[in-house]
Amino acid sequence: MTKISKKILFITGTRADFGKLQPLASEAHNRGFKICFFVTGMHMLKKYGLTKIEVQRYKEFEVIEFINQREGDSQDIIISKTILGFSDLLQEIKPDLVVIHGDRIEALACSLVCSINYILSVHIEGGELSGTIDEVLRHCNTKLCSKHMVSSLDAKRRVQRLGESGEDIYVIGSPELDIHYANSGVTIEQVKKRYELVDQDYGICIFHPVTSEIDEISQQANDLFDALAETQKHFVVILPNNDPGSNQIKNVINKLDKLYFRVIPSMRFNYFSELMKNTAIFVGNSSAGVREAPFLGIPSIDIGTRQTNRALADSVFFSKASEKSKIIKLVNDNWNKRFTQDSAYGFGNASTRFVEIIENDSFWKCSMQKFFSDSE
């Protein structure tokens, strides 16, 4: 295979999925593949930190930007705009492979376009479980994409139960662990200086909306941050994603006491990695609390239903947002505690596995007509 002739297009709509895709893209570029990024979604919005800048830092990537939403657009409208923009793009750049991650609406739109146009695509981190609409979108992407790179054997079994052939499923681990496994290149002192953090122990809190609980999300945010405030400990708060309900959460965050809470729209990935490695505890409903935190041996408190069934590590504790006394006790009991590293989602070498797979000629020799496979 002539690698230089292969063009790989990665889809990114959020800071989180770029953190998972960047290690794969960088390793593929280092091994001779041409890399493009379709940058859309939250990346393009100033209110979420204009994180397209993070993608632009990688000069070795071709970056194509597309604004797929305006303030107030519903998710179905955003999907339709993304389909139109991505369909036009494919006619221009004609990639050999499209890499699609997870469960966001941008991923669903691009998976659908690839499927209808018989374009080779690979879905990253399918077969996961969660407690929101994300799970439905994730499984849809599995059925639409040609091939699958999953984080665990359990995920592989679930993808097979959806009718995908075992020959098209590869276990590579969770890609974001590659970032945390590597040296961040910065010190915690540099992180604190750049983001004006207190020179004391701190926790991290990320709380995203759950679309099926939008009527309750404001109260949930109030309860959670009230509990954290009562601990009188310092927390770095990263703003939520742009799912419906995010404005309600941000309204609560905007009222937090600046003495204990430092609010940041988004962070550069290597800085966030160093922040994670040195945090006293992680609180919220981000996947970082059930994947990165256990991998780093950091205690985390998983709040609510968003990550239901995704965490089994001993370092992860569970609570409803309304259980304030429980949250306070968990924070106090586990502050600065450390656990044995959990490797359920890999060892920080997903990018190496990714390139090993796509360097094999057999990966590229497949029928674009999908069939339901009854065998496991």
Per-residue pLDDT of the chain (376 residues; tens, 9 = 90+): 555 579 999 999 999 999 999 999 999 999 999 999 999 999 999 988 899 999 999 999 999 999 999 988 999 999 999 999 999 999 999 999 999 999 999 999 999 999 999 999 999 999 998 867 888 999 999 999 999 999 999 999 999 999 999 999 999 999 999 999 999 999 999 999 999 998 899 999 999 999 889 999 999 999 999 999 999 999 999 999 988 999 999 999 999 999 999 999 989 999 999 999 999 999 999 999 999 999 999 999 999 999 987 767 999 999 999 999 999 999 999 999 999 999 999 999 999 999 999 999 999 988 889 999 987 6
What is the structure's pLDDT at 3?
Answer: 58
Contact 225, 240 (CB under 8 A): no
Parallel/antiparallel/unpaired status of strands 282-284 and 147-150: unpaired
CATH fold match for the domains 3-174+346-364 and 185-334: yes
What is the structure's pLDDT at 376?
Answer: 60
Q: Quick count: other Cβ atoms within 10 Å of Cβ 120? A: 17
Left (φ > 0), alpha (ψ -120 to 50) or beta: where does 49 sit? left
Q: Count helices and strands (H / E) in the chain.
A: 15, 13
What is the structure's pLDDT at 2?
Answer: 54
Left (φ > 0), alpha (ψ -120 to 50) or beta: where does 320 sit? beta
**Helix (H/G/I), strand (E/B), else coil: 63:** strand
pTM metric for this prediction: 0.91
**Helix (H/G/I), strand (E/B), else coil: 9:** strand
C-alpha 265/C-alpha 238 separation (Å) is 6
**Helix (H/G/I), strand (E/B), else coil: 258:** coil
Domain boundaries, the chain: 3-174+346-364, 185-334
Contact 286, 268 (CB under 8 A): no
What is the structure's pLDDT at 1?
Answer: 57
CA 305 to the chain's CA centroid: 17
In CATH, the architecture of 3-174+346-364 is 3-Layer(aba) Sandwich (3.40)
What is the structure's pLDDT at 312?
Answer: 79
Class of domain 185-334: alpha beta
What is the structure's pLDDT at 91?
Answer: 92
